[in-house]
Amino acid sequence: MNLEEAYRIACAMPSDIHEHLPVFVELCEKLDATKVIELGTRGGVSTTAWLYAMEQTGGHVWSVDVDPPPDLEHERWTFVQGNDLNPEVFRALPDSADVVFIDTSHAYSQTLAELHLYAHKVRPGGRIVCHDTELRRPFGVGVQPAFPVRKAVTEFCREEGHPVTFLPNNFGLALISMPEEL
């Protein structure tokens, strides 16, 4: 199956993120993105959309996860296994990314730390995208404030002065705009 077919199937198959996949592709087209960093891959559904977008723009996706990679192979994809807050993992990823996508543990402190750290990897005018902003109590992360991802995004944007757009569907998505000039 080619990547376009895989992308179309991922968009049509109900999942916790399928409604956002076209948003990813449109965002990459709008930004003329050639560098995407994906934090959290799980089964590779979002990875498929980012790769499909990079085929359109001639770019590359770097994915990080603590678990082994999903069953994907593509010349425009590099997988790094490890904790994304590990300095070695951080250094293995490109600077001046057009998009950093965060969909990892959903723990408030982890998400806030990722936002502060990976903001340094995003080029001026790029975006940070966070999934699960409408997830009240993420499974498996212990006691958290309600809506921990949204709380982390809101706090980060307030502290740093970044505008954010929230999309409420499909467990929520935040699109954080980085300033055009630093």
7-54: pLDDT as tens digits:
999 999 999 999 999 999 999 999 999 999 999 999 999 999 999 999
137 membership: H or E segment, kind and range: none
Instruction: Check pLDDT > 90 for residue 181.
Output: no
Lateral strand order in the sheet of 97-102:
77-81, 60-65, 35-39, 97-102, 122-131, 173-177, 164-167
Instruction: Decide if 144 contacts 107 (C-beta within 8 A).
Output: yes
CATH of the domain at 131: 3.40.50.150
Identify whether 13 is part of a domain.
Answer: yes
Identify whether 143 is part of a domain.
Answer: yes
Instruction: Check pLDDT > 90 for residue 1.
Output: no
Give the three-state DSSP class for 83: coil
Identify whether 158 is part of a domain.
Answer: yes
Segments forming the whole domain that contains residue 50 = 3-177
pLDDT at 182: 56
Identify whether 41 is part of a domain.
Answer: yes
Identify whether 144 is part of a domain.
Answer: yes
Residues 6+ apart with CB under 8 A from 45: 10, 15, 17, 18, 21
Helical segments of 58-119, H only: 87-91, 108-118
Q: Provide the percentage of residues in the chain whose pLDDT is more than 90.
A: 96
- Please provide residue 153's backbone torsions phi and psi, each rounded to the nearest 5 degrees: -65, -45
Radius of gyration over every alpha carbon of the chain, rounded to an integer in angstroms: 15
Q: Provide the percentage of residues in the chain whose pLDDT is more than 70.
A: 99
Identify whether 73 is part of a domain.
Answer: yes
Identify whether 182 is part of a domain.
Answer: no
Residues 6+ apart with CB under 8 A from 34: 54, 57, 58, 59, 60, 98
| Number of domains present in the structure of the chain | 1
Q: Helices 21-31 and 3-12: crossing angle, nearest 10°? A: 130
